[in-house]
């Protein structure tokens, strides 16, 4: 940058030189045909990294190599949805937090305290329902991104395996949509705002088609391995700048081979093989082993079937017929259509086995038609009513399973 001043009738420039370039922090992660493939940790912090490959591509091995090489230079935070990195956590001295044992607020507080004290963490997300996994990961990410500016100097590398489980491209159902939005927004925010806050991010996924696009767009470095599905091949090829013929190479890569591209790895796509790691991958595919050879009676004895069969009638009597699990009942009660559903069932029971229209139900119950439709949708999803899709001619009646539990009735219409 220059400022111009007059001196003796001529213009002279007052030069403000850039500060001297800092030494690059390079760590080796693999080998190419021409030498070593190094990961520039400073540029990784600035641009983040995507590690992607189908099952068996060696993605987890790659993450291990990155962590083993990087943990001497910054604090590592391992986010582990499948519980496969416990030995790696032990190797780098990370404290394991089982998310199932902590509330979301606890994970947020733990993340902030770990940053303040430069403590490596291993967040084990196993034994959680899909929505709980997203919510608790989001709480942890919020603690990292929301730490006070005084702690930004404590650089952190967040390594996230199976990121599509935490920021999915699509929600599994309408009820999951809000949770998905939370996961996508929080992980995108971590990637987008992390650089100035001293946070680098490595995101790994098996399927590009399953990971939210807003997350992928924030990752400026890529390591792409084996891909088999057409959509994944097309997206991976686009990230690498490959044409159609080059994209087919992605279907043929052996385990451990990855194309590297980005400021932190290589200015042009280069094929590399990931080097050996110190720790062993826990989730490695087991060797094939045939079934044991036992006779029928021996097998019954080993399974203790006599005892299991004796338990069944007692458990059935204790639970009662058709009693749902606690979580299923909670999901039903929290559904927006629960109140309407509770009113619809007695109304349909009055005219069983006959059917009626949604309009007649709405008039009989003095409820809005949309409210009745929501209730019918809910009852249909659990098999309690037989009904048609929404529309003017929608009809409904109790399902055969429900009708069998009622005494015969002569009523044929709602009054």
Is the CB of residue 48 less than 8 Å from the CB of residue 220?
yes
For residue 382, is it within any domain? yes
CA dist 241 and 230 (Å) reads 16
* Predicted TM-score of the model (pTM): 0.68
CA angle 372, 378, 381 (to 5 degrees): 140
Sign of CA dihedral 143, 122, 257, 72: positive
Calculate the CA 340 to chain-centre distance.
33
We report the CATH number of the domain holding residue 367 as: 1.10.10.10
| Statement to judge: residues 233 and 342 lie in one domain | no
Calculate the CA 29 to chain-centre distance.
26
For residue 45, is it within any domain? yes
Nearest CA-CA partner of 199 in 297, 115, 103 = 115
pLDDT tens, residue order, the chain (415 aa): 443 333 444 444 445 565 565 678 999 999 999 999 999 999 999 999 999 999 889 999 999 999 999 999 999 999 999 999 999 999 999 999 999 999 888 999 999 999 999 999 999 999 999 899 999 999 999 999 999 999 999 999 999 999 999 999 876 555 578 888 999 999 999 999 999 999 999 999 999 999 999 999 999 999 999 999 999 999 999 999 999 889 999 999 999 999 999 999 999 999 999 999 999 877 666 678 888 888 888 888 877 777 766 655 554 454 444 445 566 787 888 888 899 999 999 999 888 878 888 889 999 999 999 999 999 988 988 888 888 778 777 888 888 777 777 755 444 455 5
For residue 293, is it within any domain? no
**Is 185 exposed, middle or buried (CB count within 10 Å of its CB: 0-12, 13-18, 19+)?**
middle
At 113, list the tokens.
Answer: 């305290």
Among 259, 274, 289, the domain-final residue is: 274
| Statement to judge: residues 54 and 163 lie in one domain | yes
At 214, list the tokens.
Answer: 């807003």
| Statement to judge: residues 221 and 346 lie in one domain | no
- DSSP per position, 91-104: HTTPEEEEGGGS-H
| Statement to judge: residues 358 and 258 lie in one domain | no
CB count within 10 Å of CB 359 equals 14
Domain, as residue range, for 390: 327-403
We report the CATH number of the domain holding residue 126 as: 3.40.50.300
């Amino acid at each position: 940058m220059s400022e111009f001043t007059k001196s003796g009738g001529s213009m002279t420039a007052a030069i403000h030189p850039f500060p001297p370039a800092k030494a690059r922090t390079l760590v080796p992660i693999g080998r190419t045909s021409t030498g070593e493939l190094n990961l520039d940790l400073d540029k990784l912090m600035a641009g983040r990294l995507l590690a992607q490959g189908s099952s068996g591509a060696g993605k987890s091995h790659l993450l291990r190599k990155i962590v083993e090489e990087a943990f001497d230079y910054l604090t590592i935070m391992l986010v582990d949805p499948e519980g496969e990195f416990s030995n790696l956590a032990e190797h780098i001295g990370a404290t394991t937090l089982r998310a199932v044992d902590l509330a979301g607020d606890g994970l947020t507080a733990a993340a902030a305290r770990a940053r303040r004290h430069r403590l490596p963490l291993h967040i084990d997300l196993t034994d959680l329902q899909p929505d709980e996994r997203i919510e608790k990961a989001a709480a942890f990410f919020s603690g990292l991104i929301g730490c006070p500016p005084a702690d930004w100097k404590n650089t952190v590398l967040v390594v996230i395996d199976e990121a599509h489980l935490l920021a999915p491209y699509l929600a599994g159902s309408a009820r999951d949509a809000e949770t998905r939005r939370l996961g996508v927004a929080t992980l995108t925010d971590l990637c987008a705002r992390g650089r100035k806050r001293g946070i680098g991010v490595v995101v790994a996924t098996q399927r590009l088609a399953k990971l939210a696009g807003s997350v992928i767009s924030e990752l400026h470095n890529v390591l792409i391995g084996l891909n088999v599905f057409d959509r994944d091949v097309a997206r991976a090829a686009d990230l690498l700048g490959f044409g159609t013929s080059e994209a087919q190479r992605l279907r043929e890569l052996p385990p451990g081979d990855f194309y590297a591209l980005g400021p932190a790895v290589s200015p042009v796509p280069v094929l590399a093989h990931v080097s050996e790691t110190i720790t062993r991958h826990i989730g490695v595919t087991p060797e094939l082993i045939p079934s044991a050879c036992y006779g029928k009676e021996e097998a019954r004895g080993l399974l203790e079937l006599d005892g299991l069969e004796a338990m069944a009638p007692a458990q059935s009597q204790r639970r009662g017929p058709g009693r749902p699990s606690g979580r299923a009942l909670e999901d039903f009660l929290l559904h927006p259509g629960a109140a309407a559903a509770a009113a619809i069932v007695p109304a349909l029971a009055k005219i069983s086995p006959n059917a009626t229209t949604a309009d007649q139900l709405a008039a009989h119950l003095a409820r809005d038609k949309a409210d009745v439709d929501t209730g019918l949708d809910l009852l249909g999803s659990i098999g309690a009513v037989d009904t048609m899709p929404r529309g003017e001619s929608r009809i409904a009646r109790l399902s055969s399973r429900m009708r069998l539990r009622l005494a015969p009735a002569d009523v044929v219409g709602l009054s």
